[in-house]
Amino acid sequence: MAETVRWLTTEEQHAWRSYVRLQEKLRSRLSRLLQTESNVSEADFAVLVELTDVPDGRQRAQDLARALEWEKSRISHHISRMVKRGLVVREECPEDGRGAFAVITDAGRAMIEAAAPRHMEAVRALFLDHVTLAELRVLTQISERVVQKLDEAASREAVPPGTAPKRSRRS
C-alpha cells in the first residue's frame, strides 16, 4: 500500500519557509558578527558556551557532541583544533579509557567572556528587539515542545528493542 504524503498547506508552507529563512539569516549574521567582532567561530562559541554552562568547565566529548547535535568525529576534530589554539584541554576519563573530557582553559574563558556581550547585543538587535514579550513566550513554548518531541524520537531511535531508554541529563 502506498503512503499518503501529507503535503503542506499554503499557510503551513509559508510559515515553514519563513522560519527556515529566519534561522538561516540569523545564524549567518550572528556567525559573521562573532567572527569579525570577536574573532571566534560559531562552532568555537557553541563549544565554549556548553563548557561554561557546567560548574567545573569540563564535559565528556560524547555529551558535548550530543548537546550540539554533532557527530562524534566532528566534536573530536573540533576539540583537537581548539586544543591547538589553547581554548580547551583534553583530559582522559578515569571511568572510561576510551572517553575524554574537554575542559575550558583560561584562554577559552577569556574568549567567551569577550565574545558573549557582543553576541548578546547582536541577538537583541537582530531578533529580540523585533518581537513582543507575548510573541517571545509563544515562541518559547513552541520551541520547547518541538525539541521535546525531537528528543523523545531520538531516544526511541537510539534504544535497541527490549531495552530501557537511558535517562537524559536534561530530564
Q: Which amino acid is at 78?
A: H
Residue 21 has pLDDT above 80, yes or no: yes
Tell me the C-alpha distance between 132 and 20, whole Å.
Answer: 20
pLDDT digits (tens, 9 = 90+) for 38-91: 999 999 999 999 999 998 999 999 999 999 999 999 999 999 999 999 999 999
User: pTM (2 decimals)?
Assistant: 0.82
Beta bridge partners of 100: 92
Confidence of residue 165 (pLDDT cuts 50, 70, 90): very low
Q: Does one domain contain both 30 and 108?
A: yes
Q: Does one domain contain both 113 and 133?
A: no
Give the total number of structural domains in the chain.
Answer: 2
- Supply the range of the domain harboring residue 144: 127-160
> Is 9 inside a domain boundary?
no
